[in-house]
């Protein structure tokens, strides 16, 4: 099979929604369509884009995606890339796409003159933890907190 990884295009956004839903459900989160596609339109392609993304496709069908933002580390006093999402639909896992996504992100990180890539995954996602460890990533024991502002 010949998979292709490329940057997300505006025309991909409506096709991305089912993968977003599948990803949320895979991680045990609820999914409610609240207009994410419209907000992603602005986030990716607005006057001041705040997120970057890539998709994996097979025969012009989206089978996975990865998104990232450019952040700044106060401790290191240097920018880094935060990988927000990396998701592959079940039949397309364990085919080398995750590694290809990470290599794509490493290249993007260099282009952005960043020093590192950071991300998180639920502690229950053992296949992802095993994959990231195999790729040479190290983990930090932290807990993620958030404050909901009702949006």
Q: What range defines the domain where residue 48 resides?
A: 3-134
pLDDT of residue 144: 78
> CATH number for the domain including 7?
3.40.630.30
Q: Residue 145 has what pLDDT?
A: 78
Is 143 within a domain?
Answer: no
Query: How many domains is the chain built from?
Result: 1
| pLDDT by 10s per residue, the chain, length 151 | 799 999 999 999 999 999 999 999 999 888 888 999 999 999 999 999 999 999 999 999 999 999 999 999 999 999 999 999 999 999 999 999 999 999 999 999 999 999 999 999 888 888 888 989 998 999 888 877 777 787 5
Q: Is residue 145 part of a domain?
A: no
Question: Token pair for residue 2?
Answer: 């010949």
CB-CB neighbours of 83 under 10 Å: 19
Q: What local confidence, expressed as pLDDT, does residue 133 receive?
A: 92
**Do residues 89 and 16 lie in contact, with contact meaning Cβ atoms separated by under 8 Å?**
no
| Residue 147 belongs to a domain | no
Q: Residue 138 phi/psi, 5° resolution?
A: -110, 155
- Taken in order 102, 103, 106, 108, the sign of the CA dihedral is negative
Which residues are within 8 A (CB) of 12 and not within 5 positions of it... i.e. 6 or more apart? 55, 62
Give this prediction's pTM.
0.89
């Amino acid at each position: 099979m010949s998979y292709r990884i490329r940057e997300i295009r505006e025309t991909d956004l409506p096709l991305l929604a089912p993968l977003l839903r599948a990803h949320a459900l895979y991680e045990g989160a609820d999914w409610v369509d609240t207009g994410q596609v419209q907000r992603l339109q602005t986030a990716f392609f607005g006057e001041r884009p705040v997120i970057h993304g890539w998709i994996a496709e097979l025969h012009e069908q989206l089978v996975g995606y990865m998104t990232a933002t450019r952040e700044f580390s106060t401790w290191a006093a240097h920018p880094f890339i935060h990988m927000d999402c990396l998701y592959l639909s079940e039949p397309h896992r364990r085919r080398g796409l995750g590694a290809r996504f990470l290599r794509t992100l490493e290249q993007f990180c260099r282009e952005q003159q960043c020093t590192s890539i950071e991300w998180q995954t639920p502690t229950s996602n053992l296949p992802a933890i095993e994959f990231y460890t195999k790729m040479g990533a190290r983990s930090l024991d932290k807990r993620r907190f958030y404050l909901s502002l009702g949006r």
